[in-house]
Amino acid sequence: MSPVARGLLRFSSLFGIFTLAWACASGAEPSANDPGPTGDAGAAGDAQGGSGGGTSGGSSGATTAGKAGASGKGGSATGGSGTAGKAGTAGAAGFPGGGGGGSAGSTGTGDLGKPCMSGSDCASGKCVDVGSPTKPNKVCVSDCKVGAPCGAGFHCGKVDGANLCVPDNGGQCALCKSDSDCKTKSDRCLVGPKGEKFCAQDCGFDTACGAGMECKPVQGGSPGDRACVPASAASCPCADNRDGDERDCTKTVGTLSCKGVETCDAKSGAYAGCTAASPEPEKCDSKDNDCNGKVDDLAGAACMCNGTSCTILCQDGFAHYPATLPDSAGCPCKMDADEPTNDKCATAKTVADIVDFGGMAEATITGTLSSDTDVDWYVINIKDAGEAGTNSYHPQIVFDKNPGDEFVFVAVRGGDCAKEASSPTLTSYDFCVNFKDGTKRGEAPCGSADGIQHCGDNSSAYRIGVKRDPAKPKTCEGYSLKVRAAGGACKPATFDACGGN
């Protein structure tokens, strides 16, 4: 028997008449199918606790649980609502036929974030100005605790050296120019990957950030400084708190890019209206067409403009070639340093002396041709050294670089430029004396035969003129010729027996 029932029996034995009157007024004890009247409200909670236990034992705030609700006589026992941070104790059970006792109340957040003037206004005893220097905001706060998140709408931020649960205030990703523009002292004004500035919540205590954000070290900050930034190095999303914000944008064509800015339109939720120009190869037009920060920076050329008319002037040592290039290409063809003095056979440049035996046996000639009619003339002296055996003298001229077979040459043995007109155009040349083939006898071996002395001195100067094959595509790529004094054994099918131009 419950204490309440035992009390009623004692009361009945002392005051029989009153008990009878009560029984007549109230009727028989309720049955399971006949619920009694609603139970009494739960008792008040402890100091800083709830104002009662039961189903709503604590809704927001302090640390002490509300007391249990009293027993109901017939209905369910319901505790009063409270302000406790911890759950209220469940109410006691009602009489048979009545409802059950009230359930325990849920944990609440107390007055965290409530405006305050001093610590006495707060259940936690902490009233702190969490606002920026330009936006004071004194609210109730509590200390951050390891393993105990601050709760929805709050985060742990360092304010004046203390880690406190402070209101979010919608500050993450808000517009800013400096830290003082952010709503909370613990927020930092950071720069995003596209040059945009945004407020970032502190996460140094617990590394906790909202959806789409990740906790990263603050560049240039103190050790342990960490803030919430958009994940994967992305920009803050375009939203109401960034409406009108500008960030960098680019337009790219091939390998060229131009920069501009685009603006956040909160209504559409996207950045739009990139102001970047479409890049194109540089032109002679007083504009930076390729967006490299330089105007009319044409290769090997200067751009002279008069009103709407612009003219390209090639710098010394450069040519606008091939002629099919657009003016915007400038003058990309680098001319040989000896231009134009080496354009004729008579003014050929001496480049080397080589010898077939016991000395330097080969030389290389390189250059470019800067017009359709340009010819580069060179002189190489090839000496025939005295030898007792087979004469190794075998002048040979071949291309070792000839892109697209664009180049040909003329070889004039000796100093007579008059032979130029009758000399064939070649891609290779051999002057052979070191052979013996039946009745055709070169200087192999040296000696006297048939009254002819072989292995004489065949030393000679060679004038070599490099020019273009008019049937091949024209470029400004260079050429390279290899000239040898001793080109190896001659092939009878191709030799020029002790002679030639």
Of residues 64 and 417, more confidently modeled: 417
Could you give the CA distance from residue 481 to residue 466 in angstroms, rounded to a whole number?
9
The count of C-alpha atoms lying within 13 angstroms of the C-alpha of 425, restricted to the half-sphere facing its C-beta, is 11
Asked if 246 and 265 count as a contact pair (C-beta separation under 8 A), the reply is no
Cα torsion 388, 392, 394, 396: sign:
negative
Q: Kindly tell me if the per-residue pLDDT of 264 is higher than 80.
A: yes
Highest-pLDDT range among 329-333, 379-383, 431-435, 497-501? 379-383
Rounded to a whole number, what is the distance in angstroms from the first to the last CA of the chain? 140
pLDDT reported for residue 19: 29
Phi-psi region of 160 (alpha: psi -120 to 50; beta: other; left: phi over 0): left
Furthest CA-CA distance within the chain: 175
Q: Kindly tell me if the per-residue pLDDT of 290 is higher than 70.
A: yes
Q: Could you report the per-residue pLDDT of 151-206, keeping only the tens digit for each?
A: 889 999 999 999 999 999 888 999 999 999 999 999 999 999 999 999 999 999 99
Nearest to 91 by CA among 108, 106, 76, 107: 76
CATH 3.40.190 fits 345-484, yes or no: no
pLDDT reported for residue 442: 67
Q: Could you report the per-residue pLDDT of 381-428, keeping only the tens digit for each?
A: 999 988 777 788 889 999 999 999 999 999 999 989 999 999 999 999
Q: Is 120 helix (H, G, I), strand (E, B) or coil?
A: helix
Q: Is 54 helix (H, G, I), strand (E, B) or coil?
A: helix
- Least confident among 361-365, 376-380, 410-414, 446-450: 446-450
Cα torsion 39, 44, 49, 50: sign:
positive
Asked if 410 and 465 count as a contact pair (C-beta separation under 8 A), the reply is yes
pLDDT reported for residue 111: 84
Return the domain boundaries, the chain.
119-235, 237-278, 280-334, 345-484
Give, in order, the Cα–Cα distances in Å from 34 to each of 21, 31, 41, 93, 334.
Answer: 21, 5, 21, 17, 110
| Residue 499: band (very low, low, confident or very high) from pLDDT cuts 50, 70, 90 | very low
| Residue 439: band (very low, low, confident or very high) from pLDDT cuts 50, 70, 90 | low
Using only the alpha carbons of the chain, give its radius of gyration. 51
Cα torsion 485, 487, 490, 495: sign:
negative
Q: Kindly tell me if the per-residue pLDDT of 68 is higher than 60.
A: no
Could you give the CA distance from residue 369 to residue 217 in angstroms, rounded to a whole number?
59
- Least confident among 170-179, 353-362, 366-375, 385-394: 385-394
Nearest to 82 by CA among 112, 117, 46, 118: 46
pTM: 0.50
Asked if 57 and 107 count as a contact pair (C-beta separation under 8 A), the reply is no
Mean pLDDT of 120-146: 91
Percent of the chain with pLDDT over 90: 53
Nearest to 79 by CA among 50, 39, 42: 42
Give, in order, the Cα–Cα distances in Å from 360 to each of 62, 363, 484, 486, 489.
Answer: 100, 8, 9, 10, 18
pLDDT reported for residue 437: 63
Of residues 308 and 417, more confidently modeled: 417
pLDDT reported for residue 109: 46
The residue ranges of DSSP E strands in 107-222, in sequence order, are: 127-129, 138-140, 142-143, 154-159, 162-167, 188-191, 197-200, 213-217
Mean pLDDT of 306-316: 88
Of residues 307 and 437, more confidently modeled: 307
Cα torsion 186, 190, 192, 194: sign:
positive
pLDDT reported for residue 432: 81
Q: Kindly tell me if the per-residue pLDDT of 473 is higher than 70.
A: yes
| Residue 309: band (very low, low, confident or very high) from pLDDT cuts 50, 70, 90 | confident
Q: Locate 360 and state its tokens.
A: 């330097």
Percent of the chain with pLDDT over 70: 72
pLDDT reported for residue 487: 86
Asked if 356 and 405 count as a contact pair (C-beta separation under 8 A), the reply is no
pLDDT reported for residue 70: 40
pLDDT reported for residue 110: 58
Instruction: Calculate ∠ Cα 316-320-321, nearest 5°.
Output: 125
Of residues 144 and 77, more confidently modeled: 144
Of residues 410 and 82, more confidently modeled: 410
Q: Kindly tell me if the per-residue pLDDT of 45 is higher than 90.
A: no
- Least confident among 7-11, 241-245, 337-341, 372-376: 7-11
Backbone angles phi, psi at 55, to 5 degrees: -65, -25
Q: Kindly tell me if the per-residue pLDDT of 467 is higher than 60.
A: yes
